[in-house]
Structure 1
Amino acid sequence: MRIVVQRARSGRVTVDGAVTGEIGQGFVLLIGVTHEDTREDADTLVDKVLNLRVFEDEDGKMNHSLLDVGGSLLSVSQFTLYGDCRKGRRPNFMEAAKPDAARELYEYFNERARAQGVRVETGVFGAMMDVELINDGPVTLLLESKRTF
């Protein structure tokens, strides 16, 4: 699994003009799934995302996690994170998991985060979405369950 984590002041997803998910302080996540990913990969990344110490403490140091600050997640499925652009000018998406497998792990990831008491908002899996973000910092990180590059 590959996740782009963006620390946010706010975020929102709309599909066909309707808001499907909206958060205040927290993370906007772009989540990609590849063929070999398992629930163990999702569990590892849920733990990492919820416990990343990237929110500022009273001294302005990044010492607090999403759990510490009571933040929310805006989770957006993003198969294009597995686009391979090394050859030619058009990305190859062969490393992206098939939709059914990707949906299962994406939804499992969201369920596991909710089980930790985190409010999780989402887009619509497989839909064309408009994603809005006010990136706080900006702080943007790339997480992977398996190092592939």
Structure 2
Amino acid sequence: MRAVVQRVKEAAVSVNDEQIAKIGKGMTVFVGIAAGDTIKDVDYIAEKIVGLRIFEDDEGKMNKSIQDIDGEILMISQFTLLGDVRKGRRPSFTQAAPPDEAQKLYEALVDACNQKVKTKKGQFQAQMLVYILNDGPVTILVDSNKNF
């Protein structure tokens, strides 16, 4: 499981020109579910995201977590994070989990994060427009296999 975490001042997601979720200060998390991922991967990613100290303290150092600032999470499913472009120019998505398995783990991740921080989500398998006001910019990569 891979996640791209962006610190944001605000973010929103729309489907078919209708806004379905909006957050204020917090993070937008794009998540890709790989074939073979399990609830263990969900737990790792959820703990890592909620515990990331990427928000500034009074001295301007990244020392606070999303819980410390009472922030929100906007979680967006993005299978393209599993795109492999090592051969050729068109990404291969063979590493991505099948949609039915991915959706279960995506929903489990949203639920796990929502137990600790207010978490909103995009629509699984939908064509979405995501508005992000990136703060910093701060972007962190997290991988449950610890590849990076």
TM-score, normalised relative to structure 2: 0.97
State the SS of the aligned residue for 1:103. helix
The runs of at least 4 consecutive aligned structure 1 residues that moved more than 2 Å come to: none
Q: Which residue number corresponds to residue 127 of structure 1?
A: 126
Distance in structure 2 (CA, Å) of the matches to 1:142 and 1:29: 10
1:48 is paired with a residue whose SS is helix
Q: Which residue of the partner structure matches residue 43 of structure 1?
A: 43
Confirm or deny that 1:146 pairs with 2:145. yes
| Structure-2 separation of matches of 1:85 and 1:63 | 35
Match of 2:66 in 1: 66
Residue in 2 that maps onto 1:31: 31
Q: Which residue of 1 aligns with 2:11?
A: 11
Q: Which runs of 5+ in 1 are unaligned?
A: none
Query: Following superposition of structure 1 onto structure 2, how do residues 51-90 of structure 1 map, counting pairs within 5 Å?
Result: 51-90=51-90
Partner of 1:101, secondary structure, is helix
Number of the residue aligned with 2:95: 95
Give SS of 1:120's match. strand
1:148 Cα offset (Å): 4.0
Normalising by the residue count of structure 1, what TM-score does the alignment of the two structures yield? 0.97
Give the drift of 1:147.
3.0
CA RMSD of aligned residues (A): 0.9
Structure 2 CA distance for partners of 1:113 and 1:92, relative to 1, 3 Å: same
Structure 1 counterpart of 2:16, one-letter code: D
Q: Deviations over 1:24-65 (max 9, x none)?
A: 100000000001111011111111101111100000011100
Give structure 2 stretches of 5+ with no counterpart: none
Specify the SS of the correspondent of 2:37. Answer: coil
Question: 2:115 matched to which residue of 1?
Answer: 115
1:140 is displaced (CA, Å) by 0.1
**Identity within the alignment, %:** 45
